[in-house]
């Protein structure tokens, strides 16, 4: 609720500080006293369009500060958190709940600055926050009840349909996730099918080639050997001839070994290492001869073998270039392509499963949306009856209120259901109902808004409501009915009403009088709290006009006593 309003240098207001309280607060005063100026000042703090004419003549920048007390968990706190605006220290704002302070300055050249909790913000954000804290109802104002987008949420809150709304939203999200999964699988399958011919051809080529890891190095070595085979054989022959020269290496080593062994005992152990080395040499020479013989046998100088080796090596390298991989990676590439083809072969089955899951999710959403729709129909009937019952006492007999539910096409379905909701009225019997702001006149519209607000008070999260001359053009019993309903509304939310009706003024739990006063050879608007005799005199003035009579005072007392009772 609005707890404090400080205004400086706005039109006729030089400095004004108002402390406000819960319940119904009435503002009265003679025409031209400055009641509209007070609302214009509050509008500045709430982010409405600023006009340079609001700056008091000859004064510095105009400034308006509005302090609010909001309950823990109020939607406005989430909005502030989203924009990184820190909370106030406990001592900076009103006690209880959380504090939100809106401030706006306006210079004579029309430039303005906006602040929320002393943090600079855009005027757009100031306005969004202001709309979450205060709703102003004038004869020609537009507000949330005029906006069909808000009607569905209000109907749901009125009908206590929160659980059905959450179930519908959850079913919608599940359906959309299933649809997204099905679409992704379909896109993947389509892409794979576009490449299917290439995949199957590539797998056929690679399968026929059957590449093996490390095969390129082995083939390259074999090819090099076969390309230089004759020279290799010649070198091996020369080596073999050298080993067999004379009596041969092995015979010569064997002879030397026998000679040394024959004198070993006489050498006193000095020849032991030499004899061991010759023994090893003899073994190695024999092993070398055997290896050279096996090498001779391994060499294949058949030209056809060289041709086969080159063909395979070149085929492997060609496939590697084709797929832009290394030769040793061809085997892994073949395995991946085979997996892709297997996925293609089973992809249709997977897609069918996802399509079935999507269809089941859609059915679940349709059921949830249907349950919500039925709840809305029931709530709409109750709402229409409740508001219609409020219309006759407000001098709107013969008018009709209708909550219209219109089914949406499937492409317009959403998490909030499958229909749109709109509040319509007809002010004449037999007339077709239409949108509130297009059917009702200014005075009728304000009273329609009051009836709606009384019925929907618990469904509307805005904690402070201001009614500007909701009683215009009415009097007597109708004005009394308006006062009764404003007082009833004030039992749940904070209500400020600017009024010329004594019947309405008498219903306030607090009474403020707006008046002009001379100050330093200038005229200034002030606001004076009234109580007791002062309040009786003001209501008597509203009843009698310029000359207050005893009869008017008695009538004022009667009105005040009626409220007290």
Domain layout of the chain by residue ranges = 1-138+469-529, 196-343, 531-565
What angle is formed at CA 40 by the lines to CA 35 and CA 42, rounded to 5 degrees? Answer: 100
Grouping H, G, I as helix, E, B as strand and the rest as coil, residue 15 is strand
Give the model confidence (pLDDT) of 372-409 as tens digits. Answer: 999 999 999 999 999 988 888 887 878 888 999 999 99
SS (H, E, C) 459-520: HCCCCEEEEECCCCCCCHHHHHHHHHHHHHHHCCCEEEEECCCHHHHCCCCEEEEEEEEEEC
Residue 250's Cα: distance from chain center in Å?
A: 91
Residue 375: which residues within 8 A CB-CB, separation 6 or more? Answer: 159, 161, 164
Could you please report the per-residue DSSP string of 241-266?
HHHTSTT-HHHHHHHHHHHHHHTTGG
Predicted local confidence at residue 256, as pLDDT: 83
Give residue for tokens 């003001």. Answer: 538
Integer Cα distance of 163 and 171 in angstroms: 12
Whole-structure pTM value: 0.63
pLDDT band at 91 (very low <50, low <70, confident <90, very high): low
Of 400, 397, 459, which Cα lies nearest the Cα of 424? 400
Of 329 and 139, the structure prediction assigns the larger pLDDT to: 329
SS3 59: coil
pLDDT digits (tens, 9 = 90+) for 512-529: 999 887 766 677 888 899
Integer Cα distance of 477 and 152 in angstroms: 33
User: Which pLDDT band holds residue 370 (cuts at 50, 70, 90)?
Assistant: very high
Q: Specify whether the CB–CB gap between 188 and 437 falls below 8 A.
A: no
Tokens of 522: 């200038």
Handedness of CA 482, 483, 487, 488 (dihedral sign): negative
> Which of 117, 151, 100, 81 is CA-nearest to residue 463?
100
User: Has residue 92 got a pLDDT over 70?
Assistant: no
CA–CA gap between residue 502 and residue 511 (Å, rounded)? 11
Asked if residue 83 has pLDDT above 80, the reply is yes
User: Per-residue pLDDT tens for 475-488?
Assistant: 778 888 888 888 88
Superfamily of segment(s) 1-138+469-529 = P-loop containing nucleotide triphosphate hydrolases (3.40.50.300)
Per-residue pLDDT of 284-294, as tens digits, reads: 888 888 887 78
- The yes-or-no verdict on residue 140 having pLDDT over 50 is no
- Computed over every residue of the chain, the mean pLDDT equals 85
Which among 558, 552, 560, 507 is positioned nearest to 532, based on CA atoms? 560
Chain centroid, CA 490 distance in Å: 35
Q: Which residue has the tokens 């031209």?
A: 32
Cβ neighbourhood burial of 492 (10 Å; 0-12, 13-18, 19+): middle
Please tell me the predicted confidence (pLDDT) of residue 36: 82
Confidence at residue 522, expressed as pLDDT on a 0 to 100 scale: 73
Distances 210 to 69, 330, 336, 342 between C-alpha atoms, Å: 79, 9, 14, 19
Strands of 98-106's sheet in order across: 13-19, 2-10, 62-70, 98-106, 112-116, 119-121
Write out pLDDT tens, residues 152-198: 988 998 999 999 999 999 999 999 999 999 998 888 778 777 888 88
CA-CA distance, 286 to 280, in Å (whole number)? 10
Nearest to 136 by CA among 422, 436, 449: 449
Nearest partner of 175 among 418, 349, 419, judged by Cα: 418
């Amino acid at each position: 609720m609005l707890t404090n309003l400080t205004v400086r240098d706005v039109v006729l207001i030089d400095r004004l500080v108002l402390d406000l309280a819960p319940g119904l607060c009435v503002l009265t005063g003679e025409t031209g006293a400055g009641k509209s100026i007070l609302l214009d000042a509050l509008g500045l703090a709430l982010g409405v369009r600023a006009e340079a004419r609001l700056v008091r003549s000859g004064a510095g920048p105009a400034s308006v500060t509005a302090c609010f007390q909001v309950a823990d968990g109020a939607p406005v706190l989430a909005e502030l958190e989203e924009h990184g605006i820190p909370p106030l220290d406990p001592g900076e704002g009103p006690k209880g709940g959380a504090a939100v302070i809106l401030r706006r300055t306006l210079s004579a050249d029309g430039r303005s600055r906006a602040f929320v909790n002393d943090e600079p913000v855009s005027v757009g954000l100031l306005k969004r926050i202001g709309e979450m804290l205060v709703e102003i109802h004038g004869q020609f104002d537009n507000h949330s009840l005029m906006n069909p987008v808000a009607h569905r949420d209000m109907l749901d809150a009125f009908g206590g349909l929160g659980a059905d709304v959450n179930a519908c939203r959850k079913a919608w999200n599940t359906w959309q996730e299933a649809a997204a999964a099905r679409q992704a699988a379909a896109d993947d399958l389509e892409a794979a099918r576009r490449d299917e011919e290439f995949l199957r051809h590539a797998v056929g080529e690679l399968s026929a080639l059957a590449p093996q890891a490390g095969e390129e190095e082995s083939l390259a070595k074999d090819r090099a050997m076969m390309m230089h085979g004759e020279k290799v054989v010649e070198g091996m022959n020369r080596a073999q001839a050298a080993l067999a020269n004379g009596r041969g290496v092995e015979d010569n080593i064997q002879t030397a070994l026998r000679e040394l062994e024959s004198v070993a005992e006489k050498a006193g152990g000095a020849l032991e290492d030499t004899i061991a080395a010759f023994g090893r040499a003899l073994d190695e020479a024999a092993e070398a001869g055997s290896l050279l013989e096996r090498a001779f046998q391994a060499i294949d100088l058949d030209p056809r073998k060289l041709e086969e080796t080159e063909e395979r090596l070149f085929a492997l390298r060609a496939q590697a270039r084709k797929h832009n991989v290394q030769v040793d990676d061809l085997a892994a590439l073949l395995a991946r392509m085979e997996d892709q083809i297997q996925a293609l072969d089973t992809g249709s089955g997977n897609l069918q499963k996802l399509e079935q899951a999507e269809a089941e999710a859609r059915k679940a959403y349709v059921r949830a949306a249907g349950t919500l729709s039925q709840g809305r129909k029931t709530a709409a009937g109750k709402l229409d009856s409740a508001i219609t019952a409020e219309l006759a006492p407000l001098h709107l007999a013969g008018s009709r209120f209708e909550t219209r539910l219109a089914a949406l096409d499937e492409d317009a379905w959403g998490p909030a259901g499958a229909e749109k909701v709109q509040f319509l009225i007809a002010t004449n019997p037999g007339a077709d109902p239409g949108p509130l702001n297009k059917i009702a006149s200014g005075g009728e519209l304000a009273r329609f808004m009051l009836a709606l607000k009384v019925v929907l008070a618990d469904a509307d999260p805005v904690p402070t409501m201001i009614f500007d001359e909701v009683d215009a053009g009415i009097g007597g019993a109708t004005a009394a009915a308006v006062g009764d309903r404003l007082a009833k509304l004030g039992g749940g939310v904070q209500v400020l009403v600017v009024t010329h009706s004594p019947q309405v003024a008498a219903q306030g739990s607090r009474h403020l009088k707006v008046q002009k006063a001379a100050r330093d050879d200038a005229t200034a608007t002030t606001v004076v709290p009234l109580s007791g005799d002062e309040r009786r005199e003001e209501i008597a003035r509203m009843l009698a006009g310029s000359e207050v009579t005893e009869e008017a005072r008695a009538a004022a007392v009667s009105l005040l006593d009626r409220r007290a009772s």
